[in-house]
Amino acid sequence: MKPIFIAASPNTQQDDSNLAFSQLLKPWEWYDTEPVEEFENEVERYLGEEVNALAIDSARSAFYLLLKAYGIGKGDEVILPSFSCLVVANPVLWVGANPVYVDVNKHDFNLDLNDLKSKVTNNTKAILVQHTFGMPIDVSKVREIVGPNVKIIEDTAHSLGGTLAGKKLGTLGDAAILTFGIEKVISTVRGGMAVTKDKELITKLRELRGPEPVFSRYRIFVSLLNPVLWSLITPVYYLGIGKFTVGRIVAGVSHWLKIFGNMIEECEYKTSKPDWLPAKLPGALARLGLNQIKKLDQYNEHRIKLARKYSDLLNRHYEIPDNSKHIYLRFPILVDDPKRVLNKAKQMGIVLGDWYKNILYAPAESLDLLQYIEGTTKNAEYLAKHIINLPTGVNVTEEAVDKIATLVKENMHSEKSYEGNDEPNWS
């Protein structure tokens, strides 16, 4: 069996790596603007509801621009789920506002509406609504709680292509952020968008983004190289003797040379903004996006099929709102000892996921800077101790799902040992 890496280029197929390779050979095309507009148009067409899209380097930059465009700053509060990634908390600090963390439910990993009620104040100006693992949250219920004046920004990092009541996630709030990061629903290795139906807002966002800065040539080079490298490494990952295999050596050297790039820069752990953000998405990466979006529905159908299989094999059936589509970017499951399962899987050549093994996926020393107070979101803290994520990507076979499920089944978290207030809502 080929190795399975949940986070290393999981969406890359041969046509994607061929395209990236051909782009590597044409550096004079890297800053073309037409593919960027075309990619924005494709996303607008895909989401429908007459949204407008603005392409950028990442979802975190899209969020930063949205907060700025809404005039959010000092003294304002922005609500975020704590079961998320620090890169979405940082932009709140970058504009000088205060993040307020809301707990999540144990049964669907989405915002706990009771906790939300208790945390909305007169200073609340915006809320980031994350459809965790692709599981839709009913945005109308959030609206009822926060009222008409708080900006609802959907985070579709896990859920692009999912729907609620016939509408695509990302079109239900005031605006949304999309990411095309390496391990997300579709990938340009590094990239994102802000989308909104509000025409004035999109104009403002365009002005704020401006034509500069752009990705440096080095960053484009590294991003294009990534899918090419992984398509070469994966088939020969275990070719060799013992630990000395071709794939491992090439991967090790690539890490050492820092040519895999890193999704979170060192300064971001200290809540600082990398100088080069927010940057316009370059044409070379938009071309990867154009190739990926053609396959988005097919990828999601595959994810749903594998999730159904995990669900049956592990007897974990997530309740999702009626009339909605849950795309399962990853299949979440609780185990007693995540480290043990992750290590055992690694020995089988399978790298499972660990979202979000810490609050805000942040080292303990970053939590103060992120203004998170320990003990304030107990369910999220509990989930962080037990969660692992199972892969559903296009390169994962049903045979692999059988193997993974067998391993996980031996290590599943016993429901009786749940300590939180609300019982898990598995059916």
Ligand X SMILES: Cc1ncc(COP(=O)(O)O)c(C=O)c1O
Work out whether 263 is an interface residue with ligand X (CB under 6 A). Answer: yes
What tokens appear for 215 in the block? 């990705």
How do strand 324-325 and strand 163-164 relate by DSSP bridges? antiparallel
Q: Min. distance of Cβ 191 from ligand X in angstroms?
A: 7
Position among 7, 36, 47, 59 found at the interface with ligand X (CB under 6 A) = 59
**Rounded-to-5 percentages of helix, strand, coil across the chain:** 45, 15, 40
Q: Min. distance of Cβ 403 from ligand X in angstroms?
A: 26
Position among 58, 163, 171, 366 found at the interface with ligand X (CB under 6 A) = 58
Applying CB under 6 A, what is the total number of residues that bind ligand X?
15
Using alpha carbons only, what angle is made at residue 23 by residues 17 and 25, rounded to the nearest 5 degrees?
A: 110
Q: Min. distance of Cβ 62 from ligand X in angstroms?
A: 8
How do strand 350-351 and strand 4-5 relate by DSSP bridges? parallel
Position among 17, 52, 82, 84 found at the interface with ligand X (CB under 6 A) = 84
Near ligand X by CB under 6 A, which window of 38-46, 47-55, 155-163, 244-252? 155-163
Q: Where are the beta strands (DSSP E) in 131-239?
A: 151-155, 163-164, 167-168, 175-179, 192-196
Q: Give the C-alpha separation, 190 to 158, whole Å.
A: 15
Residue 34, exposed/middle/buried by CB under 10 A (0-12, 13-18, 19+)? exposed
Per the residue annotation, which of 106, 119, 125, 184 is the catalytic one? 184
Please list every residue from 101 through 130 that binds ligand X, using CB under 6 A: 130
Q: Min. distance of Cβ 239 from ligand X in angstroms?
A: 31
Q: Which residues pair with residue 278 across a beta bridge? A: none
Position among 6, 66, 87, 111 found at the interface with ligand X (CB under 6 A) = 87
According to DSSP, residue 102 is labeled E
Position among 104, 157, 335, 367 found at the interface with ligand X (CB under 6 A) = 157
Instruction: Tell me if residue 270 is catalytic.
Output: no
Which helix (H) or strand (E) segment holds residue 124: the answer is strand 124-130
Position among 9, 52, 171, 179 found at the interface with ligand X (CB under 6 A) = 179
Identity of the residue, 88 or 293, whose beta carbon is nearer to ligand X in the bound complex: 88
Identity of the residue, 157 or 222, whose beta carbon is nearer to ligand X in the bound complex: 157
Work out whether 192 is an interface residue with ligand X (CB under 6 A). Answer: yes
Identity of the residue, 162 or 192, whose beta carbon is nearer to ligand X in the bound complex: 192
Instruction: Give the x/- contact pattern for ligand X in 221-240, rule: CB under 6 A.
Output: --------------------
Q: Would you say 155 and 348 are in contact if contact means Cβ atoms under 8 Å apart?
A: no
Work out whether 269 is an interface residue with ligand X (CB under 6 A). Answer: no
Q: Would you say 343 and 322 are in contact if contact means Cβ atoms under 8 Å apart?
A: no
Near ligand X by CB under 6 A, which window of 15-23, 53-61, 107-115, 396-404? 53-61
Sheet containing strand 52-56, strands side by side: 52-56, 192-196, 175-179, 151-155, 124-130, 77-81, 98-102
CB neighbours of 35 closer than 8 A, spacing ≥ 6?
A: 283, 284, 286, 287, 290
Q: Would you say 76 and 97 are in contact if contact means Cβ atoms under 8 Å apart?
A: yes
Going by C-alpha positions, the residue among 313, 302, 281, 280 that lies closest to residue 410 is 313
Work out whether 261 is an interface residue with ligand X (CB under 6 A). Answer: no
Work out whether 362 is an interface residue with ligand X (CB under 6 A). Answer: no
Q: Give the C-alpha separation, 340 to 331, whole Å.
A: 18
Q: Min. distance of Cβ 129 from ligand X in angstroms?
A: 11
Position among 4, 88, 370, 407 found at the interface with ligand X (CB under 6 A) = 88
| Residues carrying an active site annotation | 184
What are the residues binding ligand X (CB under 6 A)? 58-60, 84-85, 87-88, 130, 155, 157-158, 179, 181, 192, 263
